Amino acid sequence: MPGRELEAELRVGVSFYTSALCHSVIRLEPYTACAFACSYCYARWYRPEGRPEAKMWLLKPLERLWSGLSARELRLVPFRLSTLSDPLQPLEEEAKLTLAFLKLALRHGIPIVLNTKSTLFARPPWSELLVELASRGLLVLQLSLSTISRTAARVLEPRTPPPAERLERAGELSGEVPLVVRLQPLVPGLFEREREELVEAIVQAGARHVVVEFLRETPEGLQAIYGRLAQLDPALGGAPCAWESYSLAGGRLRRPSLLYRRGALAWLRERLAEHGITLGTCKEGIFELQDGRDCCGFRFLDSEKVAYRLTLYDIWRAGGSLEQALEEAARAGDVLYGPRLAPYPRPIRRALRAHENKLLKALRRPEVLARVCPSLAR
């Protein structure tokens, strides 16, 4: 496969939100679609619907790429499995492509963040491989939840295993595999109804870290989601918050207001801290309510193998100064930016450079900064 095609396959889409805030910008998508078909799924905006198929053709170019990376002994931004389709959806039992990717990662020492709503990870041979990767500091398991309620899950994500079962299976491995719970999406109204039960379940599962990504939807999508929830409980017929535009260009996509997001994060962070669990936010830029620069759980991987992108978090920590942030990054040695990208193979180098260029563009536009990163708003 030509380098440009591999780059396009691996690179998460460049945008002000992602490029300015996200470390997980290198992905692996084993499947063309997702059988779970959750009602809030963001992927429907980026790909045509259809029956999932395995991208078996990815194995050979990926092995060449990873073999080269391993030979150069370079620090790596972890590969994310995956972003637009569940890597352990039912087709995985037959195709076993995610399993093949994980075996390659183990062979070449490649750090992986595995994100799923499935419970397949708890069954051999997947569970055995996850434990082996984690023992070498090469894997973090992210378990996605939108609710802890079985009945609400039937409305929001009817084809997924029940949330309590997901957490129970994850708990069986959490002593050996670092567990991150991803509240994706956090649904206003539903969250308030079950937040105490949700925190308790997260604690019982042995999670070390929680990532929050708030619901983003069109007005029609919000109406449909809350309409279905109202059938379970009339009190869930509307969200207890205002909604604002998410798109910088003034599109129709909506998210909860900044006031609501701050309040939900502050409550959750305080409650999780009581149990020694840290909090990350996904593309929020509310750094004062986030524990450290690492949103996704890179901190649980081998620190000698992992690298981070330069993001707005580094600039916030440096008092808003890009120059100071670059000086600190140069001393740290684990931040990839500018000339440090040169030794990397083209698909990785070009992907990281594209996101870096977008980050620098955001810094030159105060109106973008104000929306993308409230912590840096002037």
Per-residue pLDDT at 3? 58
- Which tens digit of pLDDT belongs to each residue from 115-124? 999 999 999 9
Three-state SS for 181?
strand
Amino acid at 88: L
Residue 274 has pLDDT above 50, yes or no: yes
Q: What DSSP designation does 14 have?
A: P
Cα angle at 133 between 8 and 2, to 5 degrees?
20
216: left (phi over 0), alpha (psi -120 to 50) or beta: beta
- What's the CA dihedral at 205, 156, 256, 77 to 10 degrees? 50
The strand ranges marked E within 235-343 are 243-245, 254-256, 278-281, 308-309, 335-336
- The region of weakest confidence among 156-165, 198-207, 232-241, 360-369 is 232-241
Per-residue pLDDT at 235? 84
Spatial separation of the C-alpha atoms in residues 194 and 188, rounded to whole Å: 11
Picking from 142, 147, 281, 153, the residue whose alpha carbon sits closest to that of residue 213 is 281
Residue 4 has pLDDT above 90, yes or no: no
What Å distances lie between residue 237 and 154, 156, 183, 189, 209, CA to CA? 16, 14, 21, 9, 30
Asked if 254 contacts 218 with a C-beta cutoff of 8 angstroms, the reply is yes
Per-residue pLDDT at 50? 77
Percent of the chain with pLDDT over 90: 88
Asked if 297 contacts 227 with a C-beta cutoff of 8 angstroms, the reply is no
Q: What is the mean pLDDT of residues 305-310?
A: 96
Residue 378 has pLDDT above 70, yes or no: no
Per-residue pLDDT at 168? 97
Asked if 189 contacts 226 with a C-beta cutoff of 8 angstroms, the reply is yes
β-bridge mates for residue 254, sequence order: 217, 245
Per-residue pLDDT at 65? 96
Q: What does residue 76 show for φ and ψ, rounded to 5 degrees?
A: -130, 140
- Which tens digit of pLDDT belongs to each residue from 173-186? 999 999 999 999 99
For residue 227, give both structure tokens. 């309409």
Q: Quick one: pLDDT band at residue 2, thresholds 50, 70, 90?
A: very low
- The region of weakest confidence among 41-45, 92-96, 180-184, 255-259 is 41-45
Q: How high is the mean pLDDT of the chain? A: 94
Spatial separation of the C-alpha atoms in residues 133 and 292, rounded to whole Å: 24
Q: Quick one: pLDDT band at residue 47, thresholds 50, 70, 90?
A: low
- Which tens digit of pLDDT belongs to each residue from 145-161? 999 999 999 999 999 99
β-bridge mates for residue 79, sequence order: 112
Residue 332 has pLDDT above 50, yes or no: yes
Spatial separation of the C-alpha atoms in residues 210 and 219, rounded to whole Å: 28
Spatial separation of the C-alpha atoms in residues 335 and 330, rounded to whole Å: 8
- The region of weakest confidence among 42-51, 54-63, 186-195, 282-291 is 42-51
Spatial separation of the C-alpha atoms in residues 36 and 157, rounded to whole Å: 7
Radius of gyration (Cα) for the chain, nearest Å? Answer: 20
Picking from 142, 21, 147, the residue whose alpha carbon sits closest to that of residue 83 is 142
Spatial separation of the C-alpha atoms in residues 289 and 298, rounded to whole Å: 18
For residue 125, give both structure tokens. 């041979």
Per-residue pLDDT at 6? 87
- The region of weakest confidence among 37-46, 88-97, 140-149 is 37-46
- The region of weakest confidence among 45-54, 118-127, 130-139, 140-149 is 45-54
Residue 1 has pLDDT above 60, yes or no: no
Spatial separation of the C-alpha atoms in residues 366 and 64, rounded to whole Å: 42
Residue 196 has pLDDT above 80, yes or no: yes
